[in-house]
Structure 1
Amino acid sequence: MAANKKGTDGRYRYRVNIGKDADGKPKYKNFYGTTAREARAAAEAYRISLGKGADPSQMDATLATLYDNLIAAKRAKGIGQKSLDRYEDNKNHWGPLLNRPAASLRSADFQQVLNALADWHDGQPPLSHYTLSNLRSSAKAVYDLAIPEVVQYNPIPKTTCPAGTPPEVREPITEEQQRWIRETPHKAQRAAMLMLYSGLRRSEATALTWADVDLQDATITVNNGYDFRAKRSKAPKTAAGVRVVNVPKVLVDYLRTQQDGCLYVLHNDKGKRMTEQGWKRLWQSYMCDLNIKYGHQGAVNKHDPAGVPMVIDTFTPHQLRHTFCTLMYFAGVDVMTARDQMGHKDISVTLGIYTSLDKKFKKKKINRLDSYLKKTC
């Protein structure tokens, strides 16, 4: 490490040898400071980082480059496009930090952005705690991958994830929509009935075989799910995912009429398990038919070239799972049992649903009291 005298601009310079160029001549990186000590400290820190494995050609890489490196690594591992898009979205949230050298960013820089995203900014609403947490986790992964070639430490663990907005509670479907499912024959009816009255996740329903269904005892055993990307069964993420679900008589009676000799409870026309695209097509067709029957009272042709306006409130497969939890609440099933039935790892998830419903239910009770008092007073 060589020192130079004070320059004409008033700064001190120290330089570190970082190898040789293509012609075999020594290459140096310069470090400046308002004092000799400051310049020397910066040069010494750089020299130490080289000793720890830093790559001189990468040490000026921006945060955007680090995100691109992580996305490339995830793509090489074969993760789905949806997950890759989420990393890209997370990258863009960092805004002004993206073009700065990653090694120069500190915890305070990231904390400032996180705090801004947790509040209204530039006319944009605040992000939820879940989104902020996911954003913070992605940045941590970005830095972990870059150590020690690009950066020497990870500033993210010293940040705190802001509260953000509360997560949006998925609304259960209405009693009318539940009736639609029970009374409308369709290829998707079996899937809808299954998820509505068992609370299975879509991946669990896809992996379900008739051997897992005990109609005599009115139970469904959940042992695994289905990985749509890898096209194979997968173990549940947590031990809570392996469970025996007690199902109501309405589902038992329906499933007795559905046994078709196929291995899987839900399957395509060839008897194979449903694919991601297969689910999408099936559900679109289902919502279209429900819309024509109940939204337009059958007075339109679904093949009309002009299209058929969607006038009903559509619903997703996951809403059916949420509705099952809601049905248990109104049936008086205790929260511990509901957690086991749903396969929630953390009871706070079940409690969140029950608490939300409890507030609405109590509000209705008070409204009834108001109505009664108006009549008697």
Structure 2
Amino acid sequence: MAKNKKGSDGRYRYRIYLGKADDGSKKFKSFYGSTEREARAAAEAYRTAIGKGMDPQQAEATLGTLYDNLIASKKAKGISQKSIDRLATNKAHWGELVDVPASELRASDFQQVLNTLAGWHDGKPPLSHFTLTNLRGSAKAAYDLAIPEIVMYNPLIKTIAPAGAASESRNPITEAQQRWIRETPHTAQRAAMLLLYSGLRRSEATALTWADIDLDDATITVSKGYDFRAKKVKIPKTPAGVRVVSIPKVLVDYLRTQQDGCLYVLHNPKGRQMTEQGWKRLWESYMRDLNVKYGYDGQQNKNRPGGLPMLIDTFTPHQLRHTFCTLMYFAGVDVMTARDQMGHKDISVTLGIYTALDKKFKKKKINRLDTYLKRSCANSG
């Protein structure tokens, strides 16, 4: 250990000899403190860490290196490409921290980035609490994997995921919105009708072919999905995803009018499967048309300069899937059948939807009782 030395910035420095580099030069690592004792303590802690398994050759390994190691480990375990892509996205979210030695990063560094991403920044919308939690968890996992060879401490332990943006709404759409879908011709109407009255996931609907639909039997066989990132068809992640969905007459009658000779039920103008960007453009166009028709009574041009403010409550493709589950609840479909229809791996997911609806519906019934009793008491008086 080298002799302490006070720098021009007023800090004390201690150095540890790490051996020789490939070119024969000597390698040192410096430790700083506002006092001699603080600098010495940091150096001693590092030397103790080496004795416990830290690799001095990786002393300058960055946060990016830690993420690369985590991704390599996950690949070896055979996780999906979607999960690998998510880790790569998480890595990029940390911005400049990626190039900083992991051992030099502190909880405050990570918390500052998390707080920034929780609000509007650089023209980008805030991330949701779920995404921020996933981001924090991935960094924590990267550090856990690096202990004790690269780092001795995990700074993510002392961080929290901010609230962030509200999660995407999963509320069912209204009866009026359901009517909009049935009565408004649009390129997206086929997709909307399919999702609303079959409960298919967007990836399942994208991979659906006409051969998967039996209109005489009123069923849809779900055996595959579409990986938007990899741009290829994939098998469901769980056995529950493979299922036969019974569809109502309103969808059967509609689909009979839609067969166009293309392999895929939903497709782009060239007859190919819909891409992520294709879905986005399609849905934005759909919401704009619905806004003109039902928000402005058809009296405005959706393409007017500056755009047309939204007067309607827009909805997402996932809300249509959730609405299908709600429709089954009100139709009296039992929860086990609903689970099979939705393709939920865990029945608790279906139960959660049914329970929430049950509480809401029963409360309305009690309110009706209150109204009845109030009227009854008034009449008897």
The amino acid across from 1:323 in the alignment is: T
Contact persistence 2:15–2:31 (CA under 8 A): yes
Q: Is 1:292 aligned with 2:292?
A: yes
Contact persistence 2:87–2:138 (CA under 8 A): no
Q: Distance in 2 between matches of 1:266 and 1:344?
A: 23
The amino acid across from 1:278 in the alignment is: G
Contact persistence 2:202–2:317 (CA under 8 A): yes
Structure 2 unmatched ranges of 5 or more: 7-11, 75-80, 119-126
* Equivalent position of 2:228 in the other structure: 228
* Equivalent position of 1:45 in the other structure: 48
Q: Distance in 1 between matches of 2:167 and 2:286?
A: 28
Change (3 A) 1:176 1:71: farther
Change (3 A) 1:340 1:163: farther
Q: Is 1:259 aligned with 2:264?
A: no
* Equivalent position of 1:212 in the other structure: 212
Q: What is the TM-score when the length of structure 2 is the normalising length? A: 0.74
Q: Distance in 2 between matches of 1:163 and 1:25?
A: 46
Contact persistence 1:243–1:340 (CA under 8 A): yes
The amino acid across from 1:42 in the alignment is: A
CA offsets, 1:109-162, max 9 Å, x none? 59x969x98xx9xxxxxx987446413421134326756763367676x78989
Q: Distance in 1 between matches of 2:245 and 2:192?
A: 16
State the number of aligned residues. Answer: 352
Give the C-alpha shift of residue 86 in structure 1: 4.9
CA offsets, 1:17-75, max 9 Å, x none? 331485x443334679859x9688535434446x764425515x4x5x5578689999x
* Equivalent position of 2:122 in the other structure: none
Give the C-alpha shift of residue 236 in structure 1: 1.6
Give the C-alpha shift of residue 349 in structure 1: 1.9
Q: Distance in 2 between matches of 1:82 and 1:30?
A: 35
Contact persistence 1:205–1:266 (CA under 8 A): yes
Contact persistence 1:66–1:146 (CA under 8 A): no
Instruction: Describe the SS at the equivalent of 2:57.
Output: coil
* Equivalent position of 1:16 in the other structure: 17
Q: Distance in 2 between matches of 1:99 and 1:302?
A: 46
* Equivalent position of 1:308 in the other structure: 308
The amino acid across from 2:18 in the alignment is: N
Structure 1 unmatched ranges of 5 or more: 121-126
**Percent identity among equivalent residues?**
63
* Equivalent position of 1:194 in the other structure: 194
Q: Distance in 2 between matches of 1:335 and 1:105?
A: 49
Instruction: Describe the SS at the equivalent of 2:135.
Output: helix
Q: Distance in 2 between matches of 1:279 and 1:259?
A: 20
Contact persistence 1:202–1:317 (CA under 8 A): yes
Give the C-alpha shift of residue 102 in structure 1: 3.2
Q: What is the TM-score when the length of structure 1 is the normalising length? A: 0.75
* Equivalent position of 1:58 in the other structure: 60
Contact persistence 1:14–1:39 (CA under 8 A): no
